[in-house]
Structure 1
Amino acid sequence: MKTQQIAAVVLATLIGAPAMAAQCDVEIGGNDAMQFDKSSIAVPASCKQFTVKLKHTGKLPKAAMGHNWVLSKTADVQGVAADGIPAGADKAYVKPGDARVIAHTKVIGGGETDSVSFDVAKLKAGESYTYFCSFPGHSGIMKGTLTLAK
């Protein structure tokens, strides 16, 4: 009888336990020293959508030290950044319709936040992805890696 009681308790515990949900969002900060506070982000493959919340932790206005968060394949970063500069601040320094851009936020200044969500199905296992700030002059140092995690 004890074995049946133990089995019943274990079963009840398993049924009643909340499922461990993947964390399908992240917050990342950008500061007045042109640095993100994370050098890498792992996106769980089990997520359908992934949301990035960008927070400008500095004090400078966006005209002087604006930041955004742009995601592309690593091989495309230089081209996306170069093509984004002529698009200007009102287009977040991202060329309109650029198919190389997986996701991006708007450009924000000190104390501001913005978020972007993207379809995780756009990511492929084993592909190299980089997130960066496309504000002119920032992409060379203000970047990190994004991976699709199992």
Structure 2
Amino acid sequence: MGEELKVIVFGLADEEYGIEVDKVQTIERMMPITRVPKTPSFIKGVVNLRGVVVPVLDLRGRFNLESTETTENSRIIIVAVNELEVGFIVDAANDVIDIDTDSIDAPPEVVGGIKAKYLRGVAKLGNNRLLIMLNLAEVLNKDEIIQLEQLEA
């Protein structure tokens, strides 16, 4: 048996995704987002989170999924990647679960329209439930991280 991995499960366009708990700072309700000019369309802007300016990305936009209005269930998941805090807008943050690292398979080329480079793998959770594990380092590639760091400055 592999190691247990604690992940936060969130919903996006009728699929379930996972991010390792140790990369997640907090999960926030939607809040006012200040637009920033000259940024890619999926970068929604910045929020002031307890005195810290945090860039916010729309994951639907990042993955070229159809955008929708935010709802009562929409959340901003604040993650830390390479000492940079970034918020991801998701449709819902559902729960925290333990998964066995042995149950994570390499990702197929495309899952739900999302390219494999953004994915760490797909975890099989029994009852035909699949959890798409994000590769945060790729979701925020180096060029974008540089742009986001400039937003924080």
Q: Mark the structure with the bigger radius of gyration.
A: 1
In the superposition, the TM-score normalised over structure 1's length comes to: 0.23
Higher strand share: 2
Higher helix share: 1
